[in-house]
Structure 1
Amino acid sequence: MDYASLETFLAEGKAALAKGPIAMILVEDLVEVESTIRHHLKAGFAAPLVFAPEALTLPGDLAEKIHRIPWNMHAPEALVRAVNPVIAAAPPGTWMYYCFNAEYLFFPFCESRTVRELLAFHTEERRAAMLSYVVDLYAPDLEKNPNAVNLTEAMLDRSGYYALGRPDPENQGHPKERQLNFYGGLRWRFEEHISEKRRKIDRIALFRSAPGLTLRPDHTFSDEEYNTYACPWHHNLTAAIASFRVAKALKYNPGSTYDIPTFRWSNSVPFDWSSQQLMDLGLMEQGQWF
């Protein structure tokens, strides 16, 4: 269903928020929008909210399965202005998720289990949010794929990932409890082209709505417990978002595109689109879920 604005959706389509999990797909350009929507429908999200420009066209069978909201992702604070009103409108405790186009959610055993099963288990562990690593994908041949996107030949880095303590400015810069900043992938290898505040690869992509909860521009939440990677007593599930977003940006940006003839290096490996590969590489944690 199409809506004239976000305000119209919140007034007329609020029933879509009555039962989660709710997926919000934020469309920055027209690259792989259809595959992004289909991937998340298959994962178990019903009727995603798609924030998209007017130029986007979708097949009829797909258009009828989504709630389409006109949105300009290049406007200031476009992310938080889209997500936070939906959080506020949803019933408290509703599981929600957000991503951008050309991004694909993976979680442990997603080939045989749905996102609803994942979140049911996470809820039983008394967790209200789930850490996700944004894993950069890229095409191996940039002459063949100048926008760096190729789903059938996608590659990722098998090493080069690390974490640092997240300083707490309210506690003399000491690290925050159970919070880390994670780095790696293209943001690490080509950091000279990426501002410092955009180099992290961690994102709290799955979370439960709550009164007063807000998403911040750096992909963290106003409730600090949401930003933790695990509960105090054991490791929890984490997810991964396989993403062409950074590769696209580096090739679209005139300041970096001519400096990068290829994204391939000695630690590039083909992405096999499986949760097992991401777990084997340490990019996803199954916790106590077997």
Structure 2
Amino acid sequence: MTQVQIIRKKDLKKKRDPLKDQKTVWLVGHCMAVGFGLLFTVTYLFHVLLFYKYRSWKWLFLRFNKDYHFIAGNRWYHSIIRFLPRVFYRMALVGSILALSVTMYQNWASINPQWYEMLSSENFQMMIVATLWLLVGRRSFYRLFPYMILSFIHLSNWKEETKGTMSSDKVTKRNVFLLRIMSYSELVVLLALVLDSVLLKDGTSGICLVIYFAFYWLRFNFSPYAQATALDVLGHLDHHVPPKFRPQWDKIKEFIHAKDEARIRRKGNIQKTA
């Protein structure tokens, strides 16, 4: 009696590599942040240069004419052109969220992080703030600028980072100047939100200020660049402080130094237990 042999055909479909997909999403996300961010920057600069057309000098340019449109007309393509800056702004933020999400997943997928560990992560902080800008608040270049710098840093080293041949410390040392600019831009965002809240420019400025200040305080506690930026700003203002306020001024600087020392101790303890 002859036996029938069943020959199984090999599956010609290649199995998807999840790590490769993650790298692709990470790279596309950073490209979106830089590309759409630059497009939005062009529209924002055009908006700023023509401020005199929609703000009255009689009100010291504080009053805004909401009925004014740069692109006049009621045709369908006029509406699309007017809508493009919103698309650029939100797509840049979506790209940042995608890239940061991949980074967070790769860092925390193998462990079960606590909320404290998540909140102390700079990537998580930036992802939450990007989500805040995506959902609420008016469009602004200064809110998008830190994410453009971060994505530019990663894209300038994308081959080494995707291959895993470059450590995060090496990337940090190579881009100290850009990281310092990013820290200054985050401080500018905070000051701009305070100004927007005082001038009542937007109905969401107050809540955005509260949420952003909470996350900026976290960055101030865990980011060496935020601490260095604060000390740098205080150093430039040192000679303007009256002598009678010098003790209080020195206490502020001592407070920041204490935060920096606490961060260094936490990092040392983590390395010992790792």
Same fold (TM over 0.5): no
**Who wins on radius of gyration, i.e. which is larger?**
2
Looking at secondary structure, tell me which structure has more strand per residue.
1
| Higher RCO, 1 vs 2 (CA within 8 Å, ≥6 residues apart) | 1
TM-score (norm 2): 0.24
